[in-house]
Amino acid sequence: MRTVVIGGTGHIGTYLVPALVRLGHQVTVLSRGERTPYQSDGAWQQVELVQVDRAAEDAAGTFGQRVVELSPDVVIDLICFTEDSARQLAEAVQGRIQHLLHCGTIWVHGPSMVVPTREDTPRRPFGDYGVQKAAIETYLLGKARRDGLPVTIVHPGHICGPGWTPVNPAGNFDLGVYDKLAQGADVLLPNLGLETLNPVHADDVAGVFLAAIASRSTAIGESFHAVASDAVTLRGYAEAVATRFGQKARLGFLPIGQLQDRLPKPDGQATWDHVLHSPNCSMAKAERLLGFRPRYSAVEAALAGIDWLVDAGKITTT
């Protein structure tokens, strides 16, 4: 099986690419070549790495043909962010491959209304990222119905794992929040801290892609969430992190608007986005159709990244 992974050296690819190699796939990874996988694995020695500037080739209209020229059976697209980019690739591979897998996001849903949110819940996306990803999904699934495009869409939650900073219990990426929880200091959370996050370990996201490939006939024409089997409240998350450091969480609460005024603009916007989405997505469909169950709980997924931050000296514990 010849498999092309577009953007395969990032969060998901770190786990997905070596797993594909071990399953016997002949893997080619297309990337800008600006990063290496977050973890070393001998399987990468069997991977062909091709340096590509996708944005430039999309602009020139050549990217889809570049993928086709690799003669893949399976294409896994982890870095598509606009409908035009998705359209170029889909039209190029139509009738030439067995399976196209696209990485979406649970933010296609917009704010959670009924939880846990299922894949067929009516969409109410907001923000450029969520709106663009929802448009891509609509286009690809429509093309699957009309033209038989063999596509599957995987929607990850907040991806966590060793090598990068997970979203913190305040809904942003400020490492200082972890410092305070580790030291038993006061931490402010928005509202009553009862909004939710839906972390997922990158290894579990890779697992959904692998399960979809293994269940190709069932997966084609469908979208699947890739999250932990549970969501976690901001307050519960903060308490779990404090406990990880042998501390009792000392939490205060402010209406989100007042909290935003206290935060640097990027942190305030991130908190607003995460609180407004407040995702809590169901994994029932992936279990029913693909036989996949996440290995990591929401807290376990987040702690995998937090433990890496400690080991890397990025969190001050004393």
How wide is the angle at C-alpha 147 spanned by C-alphas 154 and 105, nearest 5°?
15
- The number of angstroms, rounded, from the C-alpha of 113 to the middle of its chain's C-alpha atoms is 21
- Secondary element (H or E) of residue 130: helix 127-147
The CATH classification of domain 2-159+199-226, taken from the options 3.40.47.10, 3.40.630.30, 3.40.50.720, 3.30.470.20: 3.40.50.720
- Are 108 and 157 in contact, with CB atoms under 8 Å apart? no
| 284 three-state secondary structure | helix
pLDDT at 318: 79
pLDDT at 24: 98
pLDDT at 35: 77
Which burial class, exposed, middle or buried, applies to 291 when counting CB atoms under 10 A from its CB (0-12, 13-18, 19+)? Answer: exposed
pLDDT at 33: 80
Q: Where are the domains of the chain?
A: 2-159+199-226, 164-196+232-278+297-311
pLDDT at 19: 98
- Secondary element (H or E) of residue 20: helix 11-22
- Cis preceding-peptide flag for 116 (omega within 30 of 0): yes
Q: Which residues of the chain have pLDDT under 70?
A: none
Report d(CA 195, CA 276) in Å as an integer.
Answer: 8
Burial 100-130 (b: 16+ CB within 10 A, else e): bbbbbbbbbbbebeeebbebebeeebeeeeb
pLDDT at 135: 98
Whole-prediction pTM: 0.97
- Are 205 and 84 in contact, with CB atoms under 8 Å apart? no
| 222 three-state secondary structure | strand
Report d(CA 225, CA 105) in Å as an integer.
Answer: 8
